């Protein structure tokens, strides 16, 4: 997007007119608004329905299926309901901060979309510090969450806010450390640059570039779960202990903003993993037309991201919530050292094979494929076992 | 914590989480257990319930003998009956047969002594209504002559069907254990040969 505007300027379309800067700003604002309105917000709302259906199936339930075809419009009904609710602030709360907090959280959700690489041309601004910018702005959430916890004047909110802050700040470290191996290999911080350093085929993804990248990608994915306060790291909202954590006192639209950011950030953290390790939008050159190519790339990128989002739903349906000391132990005793080893190992690998080692990549890819086959067989075994249980079903 | 146990813990965590993911994935591809009562069912729940299910009471007034056994048996007096005896024809005329289903506790004691199985539970259980008054089931609109058991089989096919269902109900009541098929109750009326469907009344 920015690149396209820049090329227009270079061609002289804006010329020496004095309002060129203004036009540029307006065009960028419209582009940002389009990305948010067409991708970010629909994703954040529709994913709630998808996730509820996925959990339901994992728990042998049906899930919301009454509003619209297969319950597809459930997100709309929930949203309308929340918007219609009264906007309350507790009497003893610090009203100004209380009302500001959800917007900061929402800002932390909106800002990452500026560098979201949907395709080779569809990126709002290809910053040369793209990934650094991403880690910086996603951490903005912690300010809003802590502010919400403090301003609510409620013990549960405060505890939830503090837990969230501790969690997000802690997991920034392994996340940052597992981004670095990719930066070492690609030699750039720009999102597009990192994607261009990879190929469309799996063996040329950074995930399989060397043996240290698989744990790095796993740590990045799990840290993403933790930073979004998602199960098994949803301690800030542990309802059995903290009611709804930092969101306890919130109602209606403001409550919705917290959850919109939480659900929407699934896309952001999945996009980071997809960009860094799974080759982002890279697709085989099937067409000569730039428009067709960009469409394919957009589809490939979203497919990868949605797959990772599905895995995080699946994790949420599988694992119970960890204890706070377990969560901290996981971060500091396991993730941080392993991420350091990954960083050093990748540094050594890049020193040995600056252009990558195709044999190792193929071997890793083969291992991954074998692992997936074994996993699918395991699933089949469990599915067969559950069919036997079905025969004992008392109600059928 | 030794180095070996550190790595063992990592390995254990990975293996158990992957295994757990396999379990939940297997649930993902199996049919949900949920029964989507009340509107998304292949058959109404009432049709799937067993014959002996103690739902809302029903009376087949056509085969009621007016013996008042049910009224006497009811421990909470939710059955109100009024009968008159015609002196000339020696017929019993039932002028009132009300069951207050709001009071009923579904004990089934009324259907036990019924000689024809006229009063029996149905599988219907959806009884919610807007007033207590409408929960009083009134089975008699205008006085009717009570049924008189015949010596032989019942000639009227409609009554025979009702009697068949009713007697099956009473007979099964008399033998609660399924492993005693020989113990038949001495019913005053023989069940008709063409016994009706198990749940004739809905």
Q: Backbone phi, then psi, for B58, in 5-degree steps?
A: -140, 150
Whether the ω angle into residue A232 lies within 30 degrees of 0, i.e. cis, is yes
Nearest-by-CA chain B residue for A337 = B6
Q: Which residue has the higher pLDDT, A173 or A234?
A: A173
Asked whether the beta carbons of residue A54 and residue B28 sit closer than 8 angstroms, the reply is yes
Asked whether the beta carbons of residue A318 and residue B24 sit closer than 8 angstroms, the reply is yes
Return the pLDDT at B197.
45
CATH architecture assigned to B46-174: 2-Layer Sandwich (3.30)
Return the pLDDT at B185.
44
Residues A201-217: what's their mean pLDDT? 87
Whether the ω angle into residue A130 lies within 30 degrees of 0, i.e. cis, is no
Which residues does chain A have within 8 Å of residue B21's beta carbon, measured at their own beta carbons?
314-315, 318, 375
Composition of chain B by helix, strand, coil, percent to 5: 30, 15, 55
Is residue A373 over pLDDT 90? yes
Query: Which of these, B110, B123, B80, B82, lies nearest to B170 by C-alpha position?
Result: B110
Which residues does chain B have within 8 Å of residue A382's beta carbon, measured at their own beta carbons?
22-23, 25-26
Which residues does chain B have within 8 Å of residue A393's beta carbon, measured at their own beta carbons?
33
Q: Tell me, what DSSP letter sits at residue B31?
A: P
- What residues form DSSP beta bridges with B178? none
pLDDT in tens, A219-240: 999 998 888 888 788 877 776 7
Query: Which of these, A199, B201, B169, A230, lies nearest to B189 by C-alpha position?
Result: B169
pLDDT band at A340 (very low <50, low <70, confident <90, very high): very high
Per the CB < 8 A criterion, the answer to whether B137 and B99 are in contact is yes
Number of domains observed in the structure of chain A: 1
Pairing of strands B136-138, B92-100: antiparallel
pLDDT band at A392 (very low <50, low <70, confident <90, very high): low
Residues A182-200: what's their mean pLDDT? 87
Which residues does chain B have within 8 Å of residue A58's beta carbon, measured at their own beta carbons?
24, 27-28
- 3-state DSSP assignment of residue B127: coil
Return the pLDDT at A44.
86
Asked whether the beta carbons of residue B34 and residue A60 sit closer than 8 angstroms, the reply is yes
Residue ranges of A 29-88 with Cβ closer than 8 A to chain B: 54, 56-62
Task: Taking the CA atoms of A69, A70, A72 and A74 in sequence, report the sign of the dihedral they define.
Answer: positive
Return the pLDDT at B129.
86
Per the CB < 8 A criterion, the answer to whether B137 and B171 are in contact is no
Q: Does A383 reach chain B within 8 Å, measured CB to CB?
A: yes
Return the pLDDT at A344.
93
- CA–CA dist B97, B140 (Å, integer): 6
Is residue A374 over pLDDT 70? yes
**Exposure class string for A24-63: b at 16+ Cβ within 10 A, else e:** beebbeebbeebbeebbbebbbbbbbbbbbbbbbbbeebb
Return the pLDDT at B186.
43
Q: Backbone phi, then psi, for B95, in 5-degree steps?
A: -110, -10
Percentage of chain A with pLDDT > 70? 93
Nearest Cβ partner for B30 among A378, A386, A395: A386
Asked whether the beta carbons of residue A379 and residue B17 sit closer than 8 angstroms, the reply is no
State how far residue B91 is from chain A, nearest Cα, in angstroms.
Answer: 48
pLDDT in tens, B66-92: 888 888 899 999 999 888 888 888 888
Is residue B184 over pLDDT 60? no
- CA–CA dist B146, B93 (Å, integer): 6
Return the pLDDT at B163.
84
For residue A101, give the H/E element and its range.
helix A95-110
- What residues form DSSP beta bridges with B99? B79, B137
Nearest Cβ partner for B28 among A58, A375, A387: A58
Return the pLDDT at A149.
86
Nearest-by-CA chain A residue for B49 = A395
Return the pLDDT at B177.
55
pLDDT in tens, A261-315: 888 888 899 999 999 998 888 888 888 888 888 888 889 999 999 999 999 999 9
- CA–CA dist B125, B111 (Å, integer): 17
Nearest Cβ partner for B25 among A56, A319, A379: A379
Q: Which residue has the higher pLDDT, A369 or A246?
A: A369
Asked whether the beta carbons of residue A379 and residue B10 sit closer than 8 angstroms, the reply is no
> A194 is written with which tokens?
């990192």
For residue B82, give the H/E element and its range.
strand B79-85
Return the pLDDT at B199.
45
Q: Backbone phi, then psi, for B85, in 5-degree steps?
A: -105, 125
Which residues does chain A have within 8 Å of residue B27's beta carbon, measured at their own beta carbons?
57-60, 386
Any domain includes A191: yes
Any domain includes A353: yes
Q: Which residue has the higher pLDDT, A109 or B192?
A: A109
Q: Which domain holds residue A220?
A: 85-386
Is residue B193 over pLDDT 80? no
For residue A311, give the H/E element and its range.
helix A290-318
Is residue B2 over pLDDT 60? yes
Q: Does A391 reach chain B within 8 Å, measured CB to CB?
A: no
- CA–CA dist A135, A120 (Å, integer): 22
pTM of the predicted model, to two decimals?
Answer: 0.78
What average pLDDT is seen over chain A?
Answer: 85
Return the pLDDT at B178.
54
Q: Backbone phi, then psi, for B96, in 5-degree steps?
A: -155, 135
The DSSP code sequence of A159-178 is HHHHHHHHHHHHHHHHHHHH
Return the pLDDT at B182.
46
> Any residues with CB less than 8 A from the CB of A319 and at least 6 apart, and which?
A231, A232, B17, B20
pLDDT in tens, A15-31: 556 666 777 778 788 88
- CA–CA dist A318, A114 (Å, integer): 33
Phi-psi category of residue A67: left, alpha or beta, with phi > 0 → left and psi -120 to 50 → alpha: beta
Per the CB < 8 A criterion, the answer to whether A66 and A221 are in contact is no
Which residues does chain B have within 8 Å of residue A317's beta carbon, measured at their own beta carbons?
24
- CA–CA dist A321, A238 (Å, integer): 8
Percentage of chain B with pLDDT > 90? 4
Task: Taking the CA atoms of B160, B165, B166 and B168 in sequence, report the sign of the dihedral they define.
Answer: positive
pLDDT in tens, B112-146: 888 888 888 888 888 888 988 888 888 888 888 88
Nearest-by-CA chain A residue for B6 = A334
Instruction: List the domain boundaries for chain B.
Output: 46-174
């Amino acid at each position: 997007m920015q690149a396209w505007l820049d090329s227009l300027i270079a061609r002289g379309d804006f010329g020496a007119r004095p309002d060129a800067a203004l036009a540029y700003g307006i065009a960028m604002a419209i582009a940002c608004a389009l990305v948010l309105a067409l991708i970010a917000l629909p994703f954040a709302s529709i994913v709630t329905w998808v996730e509820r259906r996925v959990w339901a199936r994992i728990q042998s339930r049906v899930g919301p299926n009454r509003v619209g075809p297969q319950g597809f419009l459930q997100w709309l009904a929930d949203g309308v309901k929340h918007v219609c609710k009264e906007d309350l602030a507790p009497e003893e709360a610090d009203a100004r901060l209380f009302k500001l907090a959800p917007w900061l959280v929402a800002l932390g959700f909106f800002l990452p979309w500026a560098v979201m690489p949907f395709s080779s041309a569809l990126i709002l601004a290809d910053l040369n510090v793209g990934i650094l910018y991403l880690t910086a702005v996603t951490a903005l959430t912690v300010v809003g969450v802590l502010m919400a916890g403090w301003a609510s004047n409620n013990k549960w909110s405060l505890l939830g806010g503090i837990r969230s802050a501790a969690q997000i700040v802690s997991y920034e470290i392994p996340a940052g450390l597992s981004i670095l191996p990719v930066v070492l290999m690609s030699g750039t911080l720009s999102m597009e640059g990192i994607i261009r350093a990879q190929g469309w085929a799996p063996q040329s993804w950074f995930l399989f570039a060397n043996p240290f990248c698989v744990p790095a990608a796993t740590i990045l994915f799990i840290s993403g779960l933790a930073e979004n306060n998602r199960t098994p790291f949803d301690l800030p909202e542990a309802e059995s202990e903290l009611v709804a954590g930092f969101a306890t006192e919130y109602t209606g639209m403001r409550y919705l903003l917290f959850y919109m950011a939480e659900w929407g950030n699934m896309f952001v953290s999945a996009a980071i993993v997809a960009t860094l390790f799974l080759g982002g939008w890279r697709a085989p050159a099937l067409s000569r037309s730039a428009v067709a190519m960009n469409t394919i790339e957009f589809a490939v990128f979203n497919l990868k991201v949605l797959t990772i989002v599905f895995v995080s739903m699946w994790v949420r349906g599988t694992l119970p919530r960890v204890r706070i000391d377990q969560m901290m132990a996981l971060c500091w005793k396991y993730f941080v050292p392993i991420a350091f080893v990954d960083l050093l190992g990748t540094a050594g690998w890049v020193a040995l094979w600056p252009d990558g080692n195709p044999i190792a990549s193929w071997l890793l890819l083969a291992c991954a494929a074998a692992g997936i086959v074994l996993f699918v067989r395991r699933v089949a075994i469990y599915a067969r076992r559950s069919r036997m249980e079905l025969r004992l079903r008392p109600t059928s | 914590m030794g180095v070996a146990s550190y790595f063992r813990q990592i390995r254990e965590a990975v293996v158990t989480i992957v295994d757990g993911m396999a379990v939940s994935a297997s649930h993902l591809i199996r049919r949900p257990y949920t029964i989507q009562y009340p509107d998304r069912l292949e058959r109404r729940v009432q049709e799937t319930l067993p014959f002996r299910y103690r739902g809302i009471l029903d009376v087949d007034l056509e085969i009621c003998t007016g013996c008042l056994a049910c009224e006497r048996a009811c421990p909470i007096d939710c059955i109100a009956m009024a009968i008159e005896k015609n002196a000339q024809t020696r017929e019993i005329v039932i002028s009132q047969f009300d069951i207050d289903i709001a009071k009923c506790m579904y004990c089934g004691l009324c259907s036990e002594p019924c000689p024809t199985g006229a009063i029996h539970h149905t599988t219907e259980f959806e009884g919610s209504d807007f007033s207590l008054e409408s929960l009083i089931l009134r089975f008699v609109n205008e006085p009717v002559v009570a049924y008189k058991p015949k010596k032989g089989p019942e000639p009227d096919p409609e009554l025979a069907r009702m009697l068949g269902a009713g007697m099956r109900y009473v007979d099964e009541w008399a033998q609660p254990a399924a492993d005693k098929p020989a113990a038949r109750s001495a019913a005053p009326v023989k069940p008709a040969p063409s016994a009706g469907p198990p749940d004739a009344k809905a």
